[in-house]
């Protein structure tokens, strides 16, 4: 309310042209956003100083500073999409991998790099895009450093991470999310321009999050074209085990099987077709990312893996017993996935 009174006290003639008006607005917004100002206050400023550009655009995070912790595929792809869609105009990179930081700077995914503490001070939003074991380790300490900034992560497991900050004094500033997108590649060189668009973003434990923090992150995902789904962290981990984690395990296993056979027959990969390539594509995924995921979601992954092995045994039994009628039934049942995946 102090700022509203201050704006009312400013004579209109102080702004002799729109350029000066805009310069004043930028400075004022930067100050107000650090104080957590909302769109209604921004509209009030817009009304009083007669700027032609819309307050939604001004309040739509044109002056927001975002820090991305982890300048790999996910972090840099998100940074690029947030800049492309006008969600932010300044992105700070934080990473202990100096090579990734330099590459991200050279490619324009980030504007500059800083140590974590300084980056947090200069940011409105902090995005954690690092392996889930490191996220769990760093998250409480990052929350300790927050004032009114918003913190979100994009990890593939949620329950263990959420438990690590349960009861934290700044828990409300943290939004637990999982954008369901990725590739088998890694590093800032692997950025995909239309990443995340049309995919689902899961938001977990939203009742533990402050309303303004949740609204900001919802706006972020909407801006980059994602559909929002809400669920508890433990439920998310069960679903993720079925639709994501088991796919990687199956791909790793098939790759190991074929590589073992290749020791006996050098020509085996000469026969590999597109079907084989698409099936083992995920086996190229980085173990530094995926082993921590399997570790944190071990129980759910084991449940899914046991069911998967059970289905493989049915198919194996059909072949051993030459029961091709039952094999046909199994394949027809598997074909029902067409109803879900078009």
The percent of residues above 90 in pLDDT, for the chain, comes to: 67
Co-location of 189 and 329 in the same domain? no
Give the confidence band of 164 by pLDDT, cuts at 50, 70, 90. Answer: very high
More confident residue, 255 or 296: 296
Co-location of 333 and 312 in the same domain? yes
Question: Residue 259 belongs to what H/E stretch?
Answer: helix 246-262
Judged against a pLDDT cut of 80, whether residue 276 lies above it is answered with no
Cα–Cα distance for residue pair 111/303, rounded to 1 Å: 44
The CATH number of residue 95's host domain is 3.40.50.720
Judged against a pLDDT cut of 60, whether residue 216 lies above it is answered with yes
Q: Which whole number is the average pLDDT over 275-290?
A: 87
- Choosing from 177, 208, 232, the residue where a domain stops is 232
Q: What is the pLDDT of residue 259?
A: 86
Co-location of 259 and 329 in the same domain? yes
More confident residue, 92 or 26: 92
Output the average pLDDT for the chain: 85
Co-location of 108 and 155 in the same domain? yes
Co-location of 183 and 278 in the same domain? no
Cα–Cα distance for residue pair 314/203, rounded to 1 Å: 37
pLDDT 10s digits, 306-322: 999 999 999 999 999 99
Question: Residue 305 belongs to what H/E stretch?
Answer: helix 298-320
Give the confidence band of 53 by pLDDT, cuts at 50, 70, 90. Answer: very low
Q: Which whole number is the average pLDDT over 72-99?
A: 94
Give the confidence band of 23 by pLDDT, cuts at 50, 70, 90. Answer: low
Co-location of 77 and 181 in the same domain? yes
Co-location of 109 and 223 in the same domain? yes
Co-location of 155 and 18 in the same domain? no
CB within 8 Å of 311: residues ≥ 6 apart: 330
Give the confidence band of 141 by pLDDT, cuts at 50, 70, 90. Answer: very high
Co-location of 327 and 243 in the same domain? yes
> CA-based angle 139:140:146, to the nearest 5?
90
Q: What is the pLDDT of residue 52?
A: 40
Distances 120 to 54, 150, 151, 211 between C-alpha atoms, Å: 28, 10, 10, 20
More confident residue, 280 or 3: 280
Co-location of 18 and 99 in the same domain? no
Co-location of 244 and 275 in the same domain? yes
Co-location of 135 and 221 in the same domain? yes
- Choosing from 15, 41, 60, the residue where a domain stops is 60
The CATH number of residue 304's host domain is 1.10.3660.10
Q: Which whole number is the average pLDDT over 277-302?
A: 92
- Choosing from 232, 266, 289, the residue where a domain stops is 232
Q: Structural domain tally of the chain?
A: 3
Q: Which whole number is the average pLDDT over 9-35?
A: 51
Q: Structural domain of residue 275, as residue ranges? A: 238-339
Task: Count other C-beta atoms under 10 Å from residue 273's C-beta.
Answer: 7
């Amino acid at each position: 309310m102090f700022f509203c009174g201050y704006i009312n006290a400013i004579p209109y003639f102080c702004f002799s042209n729109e350029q000066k008006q805009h310069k004043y607005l930028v400075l004022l917004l930067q100050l107000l956003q650090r104080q957590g100002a909302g769109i209604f206050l921004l509209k009030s400023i817009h009304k009083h100083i007669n700027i032609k550009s819309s307050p939604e655009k001004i309040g739509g995070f044109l002056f927001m500073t975002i820090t991305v912790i982890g300048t790999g595929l996910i972090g840099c792809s998100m940074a690029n999409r947030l800049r492309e869609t006008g969600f932010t105009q300044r992105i700070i990179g934080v990473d202990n991998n100096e090579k990734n930081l330099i590459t991200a700077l050279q490619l324009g995914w980030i504007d500059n790099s800083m140590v974590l503490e300084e980056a947090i001070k200069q940011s409105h939003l902090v995005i954690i895009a690092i392996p889930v074991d490191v996220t769990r380790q760093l998250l409480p300490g990052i929350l300790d450093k927050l004032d009114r900034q918003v913190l979100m992560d994009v990890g593939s497991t949620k329950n263990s991470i959420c438990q690590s900050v349960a009861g934290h004094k700044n828990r409300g500033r943290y939004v637990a999310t999982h954008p369901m997108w990725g590739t088998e590649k890694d590093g800032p060189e692997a950025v995909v321009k239309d990443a995340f668009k049309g995919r689902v973003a899961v938001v977990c434990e939203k009742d533990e999050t402050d309303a303004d923090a949740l609204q900001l992150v919802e706006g972020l995902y909407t801006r980059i074209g994602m559909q929002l789904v809400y669920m508890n962290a433990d439920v998310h981990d069960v679903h993720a085990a079925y639709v994501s984690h088991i796919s990687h395990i199956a791909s790793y296993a098939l790759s190991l099987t074929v590589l073992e056979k290749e020791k006996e027959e050098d020509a085996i990969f000469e026969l590999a077709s597109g079907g084989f390539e698409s099936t083992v594509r995920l086996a190229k995924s980085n173990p530094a990312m995926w082993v921590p995921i399997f570790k944190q979601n071990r129980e759910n992954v084991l449940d899914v893996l046991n069911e998967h092995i059970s289905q493989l045994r049915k198919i194996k039994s059909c072949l051993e017993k030459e029961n091709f009628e039952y094999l046909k039934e199994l394949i027809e049942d598997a074909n029902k996935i067409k109803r879900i995946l078009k």
